[in-house]
Amino acid sequence: MDKKFLELKTRLAEIQDITKTAGLLGWDQRTLMPARGAAVRAEMLASLGKIAHEKFTSDDIGRLLEDLRPYEESLPYESDEASLIRIARKDYQKSMRVPSSLRAEISRLSAQASEIWVQARKKSDYSLFLPYLQRQVELKHQYIECFDETDNAYDILLDDYERGMTTAEVTAMFETLKKDLVPLISDISASQKNIDDNCLHGQFPIETQKNFITEILKRFGFSEDSWRIDPTVHPFASSIATSDIRITTRYYENFLSAALFGSMHECGHGLYENGVSTALERTPLCRGASLGLHESQSRMWENLVGRSRAFWTFFYPRLVAAFPAQLGTTHPETFYRAINKVYPSLIRVEADEATYNLHIILRFELEQEIINGKLALRDLPEAWNARMKSYLGIDVPDDAHGVLQDIHWSSGMMGYFPTYSLGNIISAQIWQRVQAEIPDLQDQFARGEFKTLREWLRERLHRHGRKFTPRETLQKVTGNANIDVGPYTRYLKTKFSDIYNL
Amino acid sequence: MDKKFLELKTRLAEIQDITKTAGLLGWDQRTLMPARGAAVRAEMLASLGKIAHEKFTSDDIGRLLEDLRPYEESLPYESDEASLIRIARKDYQKSMRVPSSLRAEISRLSAQASEIWVQARKKSDYSLFLPYLQRQVELKHQYIECFDETDNAYDILLDDYERGMTTAEVTAMFETLKKDLVPLISDISASQKNIDDNCLHGQFPIETQKNFITEILKRFGFSEDSWRIDPTVHPFASSIATSDIRITTRYYENFLSAALFGSMHECGHGLYENGVSTALERTPLCRGASLGLHESQSRMWENLVGRSRAFWTFFYPRLVAAFPAQLGTTHPETFYRAINKVYPSLIRVEADEATYNLHIILRFELEQEIINGKLALRDLPEAWNARMKSYLGIDVPDDAHGVLQDIHWSSGMMGYFPTYSLGNIISAQIWQRVQAEIPDLQDQFARGEFKTLREWLRERLHRHGRKFTPRETLQKVTGNANIDVGPYTRYLKTKFSDIYNL
């Protein structure tokens, strides 16, 4: 039996090597590749996707997974071995539904469409992107048809990013969220308190930003022997191995927040991947449990850590030292309020903590309408703009600042967006537990120390990788298997009541 | 029959995608990868090597190649289709000899040993590297045993880099070369003419070097939409696609020549890959015909172009403008002589044109002795140092400047070195033809124009890729299928007789 397990593990390791290789091709494509490398790159990604899929859906894997049932049952549920068999079997059952040819086409199209999206976004020309999005949605429908019918066709897409979560559950959570959020945002608007965030706009030389950000990331856990940070159009994090973590960020010389908080965000993703037990390396368990949990980590480091007073107690004097001309006369409290200013804005990744979720709810609704045939793609920019007006009260000047702002649809990632808000919600739920168990956490931050937090997260969450379901994982971290919106809305209310004197 | 050809082509394209992907993994490993990514990277490369080999040596490929014999014979020998079948069959017959497990082990060891080599070279500690080299040679012997016995076991290794070339042929060429070269170098030494190359040593800020080099490369054919240039320890060129060419170089702040001529050298390799017909993209024909021909291109752009008076007629004023403090008082002729100074030196990649070949002959002899069991690896540094003393008259201060200087052996590339001198020889043979057909070539260089040369090379050599044997290819470019040492030694004699007033 051990021999069969070894065979399964060896085969899965080879497949994981291909998957991680595809990850590197993708990282390279989005950070360094010369533009004209795109056509062949799309073919390379398609070939790797096809090979990984063919190898995983082989009869041999199916037979091994069946043969290993008694072995699995003889082992503790939580053991690496039982978990590998269990999760691989679930993945296998799902993969068997989708023909290789469809996988390859999705993969090829995604690579092509991502290139086109970069151009379309640059030119703010939705019509360039439309045919690719149309094809992407067609393929999504073909993908959905591979599975048993569900209450909502969107469930199939959601499940790829948040195993076991349904559209109905998300809708319910988002309704609760809206119920608390809309009055809060309205109270903030009514407060008439005008926060001055001029200090974030000015001239911030990119090299100085880079150096300051690196100082933060190193205190978070970034180290040059295992990480890289590179500039890109749309920031992301990628893990080639637990000790080869690559994050990317976008610098603006005239705006400090984008690279600053974007880098902390991607570092949070990186820390999760970096913290997975090395015993899980080269297995399909070697990544986060779900995108919601992943996002809980990025949002935690970005917001609960990076936008806290304690954090800036330590870092603000250093920031002033880096940019004396720009910030020398700005009071720390002014800066703290500026980075936490709530105001409706166009770009999701730059949105404040309170309005951010409205950007997500908008996308979640539009995606469902697209998938369920209630919205024609040619009408999407109009629908986008109308909803931005209705939810955030703002006019979208062009598609680059509207419907073309995110990479997700070009890459075929529909069903992904809701996990961002799930991440926000989960981050506060975990934070509640962190604060209970590390009472002097804020004092540590004020001394520039983040190791206790990082190690707590590694021990309670990161090291498990994808061994458990999202619910099981959440149970391990917080003692509660259910996502609870309460801590998040309480966190927002407390924080913004203070800032806006509500 | 067309359908079978399409099937073959599709399968070969997928294999080529894997091979090119492995190339990108290797490029990334040597330029950007965080150090601790090495262990998993080695596994990834081993998996890709294994998959490519398994896919290529499948029964299906063998059957297709057999079935396609009549189709191949119905087509012109020079057609892309017949060439693809013909070359793939030769590759197949060779690959079938080597078990997947051995391929995978060579690939895994090479990735590991390359990492160790970087450390060993840094510490100048041969003992660190020795066990990996020992294993590498063991695997080379296993590899050789996969093939029919040849006159010289080294033939098998040589054939991987220079198809159809034998050790005896190379030995004969190198003897001819030595016969002309040794008296020339001796005449140069006897000339008592002391060339001052102080102008190449000084402070040359790396950013300024980069900008100046980019200006040269752009005139050669480098364009940002299809190329990259990055710093690395050991310079190399890599082609991910014909329009995704990556060259690397090594900058020294206190020495100008290394990055300057190294970049032109790698650009020559890049131009060959960039010039292959796009009709051959994603086929095994999409690369140079042999390493000797490849090296003829790098050495041509480095030496016949980059170390010529005409080249510097255009570029020297620009170089002085870039480094006015360092070069403002140096006469152009002084500079020209400095970059062409002949003197025995330690490092092959920095050697002058005349002594360079002695570095190669040394390696060619040592490799044969290692492979034929005449030299124990523990005695290699001593043998290296003794031969450096005998051939070049110099003492090797440490192994970093001796036996550890090149990456080749760590990567399992034994049989590769002789192709460097073959490249030198071929470059002059091609140059003879170029000069006959483009009479105003030197005038063009003096105006900073290199397009006529590049397009001539593309038309006569580059576009064919690997469609033809090295001999057939040489015939197409020069009208002579045989490598002729004559033009090269005549070129060296003329050039250095002028510089040294012989």
Residue B94 and residue B147: Cα distance in Å, rounded? Answer: 8
Q: What residue type is B356 in one-letter code?
A: Y
Strands A244-249, A227-231: pairing kind: parallel
8 Å CB contact of B40 and A244: yes
Task: Say what the pLDDT of residue B236 is.
Answer: 93
Q: Is B53 on the interface with A (CB under 8 A)?
A: no
Task: Say what the pLDDT of residue B111 is.
Answer: 80
- The band of B437, judged by pLDDT with boundaries at 50, 70 and 90, is very high
Task: Say what the pLDDT of residue A349 is.
Answer: 82
Angle of helix A291-299 versus helix A257-275 axis, rounded to 10: 130
Q: Is the confidence at residue B351, as pLDDT, over 80?
A: yes
pLDDT in tens, A99-130: 888 987 888 898 889 889 999 999 999 999 99
Catalytic residues of A: 266
**φ, ψ of residue A344 in degrees (nearest 5):** -65, 135
- The band of B416, judged by pLDDT with boundaries at 50, 70 and 90, is very high
The per-residue pLDDT of chain B, averaged, comes to 95
8 Å CB contact of B13 and A47: yes
pLDDT in tens, A134-157: 999 999 999 999 999 999 999 999
Q: Is the confidence at residue B88, as pLDDT, over 90?
A: yes
- Could you tell me how many residues make up chain B? 502
Computed from CA positions of residues A168, A173, A177, A179, in that sequence, does the dihedral angle turn out positive or negative?
positive
Q: For A222, which residue in chain B has the nearest alpha carbon?
A: B34
Q: Per-residue b/e over A379-408, b at no fewer than 16 CB within 10 Å? A: ebbebbbebbeebbeeebeebbbbbbbbbb
pLDDT in tens, A252-272: 999 999 999 999 999 999 999
8 Å CB contact of A35 and B225: yes
Q: Is B52 on the interface with A (CB under 8 A)?
A: no
Q: Is B25 on the interface with A (CB under 8 A)?
A: yes
Task: State the SS3 of B365-414.
Answer: HHHHHHHCCCCCHHHHHHHHHHHHHHHHCCCCCCHHHCCCCCCCCCCCCC
**A372: how many CB neighbours lie within 10 A of its CB?**
12
8 Å CB contact of A41 and B241: yes
8 Å CB contact of A33 and B243: no
Q: Is the confidence at residue A1, as pLDDT, over 80?
A: no
Summarize the confidence of residues B430-454 as an average pLDDT. 98
DSSP state of A248: E
User: Who has greater pLDDT, A417 or B185?
Assistant: A417
Of B72, B162, B266, B353, catalytic: B266
Counting beta carbons within 10 angstroms of the beta carbon of residue B394, is it exposed (0 to 12), middle (13 to 18) or buried (19 or more)?
middle
Residue B240 and residue A44: Cα distance in Å, rounded? Answer: 10
- The band of B310, judged by pLDDT with boundaries at 50, 70 and 90, is very high
Q: Which CATH class is domain A195-500?
A: mainly alpha
Q: Is A279 on the interface with B (CB under 8 A)?
A: no
Q: Where are the beta strands (DSSP E) in B400-492?
A: none
Closest CA to B140 of B111, B115, B103: B103
Residue B199 and residue B195: Cα distance in Å, rounded? Answer: 11
Q: Is A44 on the interface with B (CB under 8 A)?
A: yes
Task: Say what the pLDDT of residue B484 is.
Answer: 96
Q: What residue type is A22 in one-letter code?
A: A
pLDDT in tens, B132-151: 999 999 999 999 999 999 99
Q: How far apart are the first and last CA of chain A?
A: 64
> What is the secondary structure of A165-213 as a DSSP string?
--HHHHHHHHHHHHHHHHHHHHHHHHT------GGGBS---HHHHHHHH
A224 contacts on B by Cβ (under 8 Å)? 34
B34 contacts on A by Cβ (under 8 Å)? 224-228, 243-245
Q: Is the confidence at residue B107, as pLDDT, over 90?
A: no
What percent of chain A lies above the pLDDT cut of 70?
Answer: 100
Contact call for residues B22 and B110 (beta carbons, < 8 A): no
The 3-state DSSP class for residue B483 equals: coil
Q: Is the confidence at residue B1, as pLDDT, over 80?
A: no
Task: Say what the pLDDT of residue A253 is.
Answer: 97
Q: Is B56 on the interface with A (CB under 8 A)?
A: no
Q: Is B35 on the interface with A (CB under 8 A)?
A: yes
**φ, ψ of residue B254 in degrees (nearest 5):** -105, 10
- The band of B349, judged by pLDDT with boundaries at 50, 70 and 90, is confident
pLDDT in tens, B233-265: 889 999 999 999 999 999 999 999 999 999 999
Q: Is A20 on the interface with B (CB under 8 A)?
A: yes
CA distance B306 to chain A (A): 26
Task: Say what the pLDDT of residue A287 is.
Answer: 97
Contact call for residues A306 and A451 (beta carbons, < 8 A): no
Residue A94 and residue A79: Cα distance in Å, rounded? Answer: 23
Instruction: Among A28-37, B105-114, B155-164, B361-370, name the one with the lowest average pLDDT.
Output: B105-114
- The band of A70, judged by pLDDT with boundaries at 50, 70 and 90, is very high
Domain ranges of chain B: 2-128, 167-499
Region of residue A415 (left: phi > 0; alpha: psi -120 to 50; beta: else) = left
pLDDT in tens, A304-330: 999 999 999 999 999 999 999 999 999
8 Å CB contact of B17 and A240: no
CA distance B111 to chain A (A): 15
pLDDT in tens, B16-75: 999 999 999 999 999 999 999 999 998 999 899 889 999 999 999 999 999 999 999 999
Size of interface A-B (CB pairs under 8 A): 115
Instruction: Among A73-82, A175-184, A275-284, B285-294, name the one with the lowest average pLDDT.
Output: A175-184
Has B266 been annotated as catalytic? yes
**A31: how many CB neighbours lie within 10 A of its CB?**
17
**φ, ψ of residue A241 in degrees (nearest 5):** -155, 165
8 Å CB contact of B34 and A281: no
Residue B217 and residue B380: Cα distance in Å, rounded? Answer: 38
B23 contacts on A by Cβ (under 8 Å)? none
CA distance B322 to chain A (A): 23
pLDDT in tens, B172-203: 999 999 999 989 988 998 887 889 999 999 99
- The band of A89, judged by pLDDT with boundaries at 50, 70 and 90, is very high
Question: Which candidate from A24, A34, A50 shows the least CB-CB separation from B226?
Answer: A34
Q: How far is CA B49 from CA A56, A140, A184, B20, B107, in A?
A: 18, 33, 57, 11, 7
HSE value, Cβ hemisphere, 13 Å, CA-based, for B59: 0
CATH numeric code, B167-499: 1.10.1370.30
The 3-state DSSP class for residue B444 equals: helix
ipTM reported for the complex, 2 dp? 0.91
